[in-house]
Amino acid sequence: MARGVALLAAVPFYLLHRVESLVLGRERSFMGLSQLLALVPGIYGVWLRAAFYRLALRSCPQSCAIEFMTTFVTPEAVLGRNVYIGSHCNIGLADIGDDCLIGSHVLVTSGRNVHHFDDVETPIRLQGGERETTRIGRDCWIGNGAVVMADVGEGCVVAAGGVVVSPLPPYSVAAGVPARVIRKRGEPRDEGGTP
């Protein structure tokens, strides 16, 4: 019942988004409402965000939870079933699989080449870039403060603070800057404290 009420509460925001899109453009309108709804605290905010994103994202099942101060860059993002995204995250053009856990303060960028910068004579803001979908496979855990710039295979764990700049094969446990595979899930841990 609470989720139904949240959906009703989200409809005016979605209608505002549709109207604003005519003037501001779809992505600019979406980002503004994503930032506004990120400010709603507590469980009511979680329900309201899930309801709005269910209407506005390419895919966001009712079972998703998006915490306080988390924003999305584009309505083209895709969330699978039972995705949890912690507080203070920023999600770009991403496809996040079922049953993923995304910690707090995680950045999922729209690929590695969002901004070109090779021409030293031209300001970086004028050099353009390429947005690519960053894919996170099902059943992954992305630790707090991680930055994901490349695909993460199914069943992976990215340690807190890890920076993923190259694709990770399925069932990898990766850590560091840049993130490197330190073992596979299911393998025994070493005695030195490897996660």
> 17, 88, 105, 115: which one is catalytic?
115
Helices (H), 57-122: none
Residue 115 is among the residues annotated as catalytic for this protein: yes
**Strands 94-96 and 78-79: what pairing?**
parallel
* Burial class of 121 by CB neighbour count within 10 A (0 to 12, 13 to 18, 19+): exposed
Q: How far is CA 99 from the centre of its chain?
A: 13
Amino acid identity of 168?
L
> How far is the CA of 58 from the CAs of 54, 55, 80, 96, in angstroms?
8, 8, 11, 12
Catalytic residues: 115
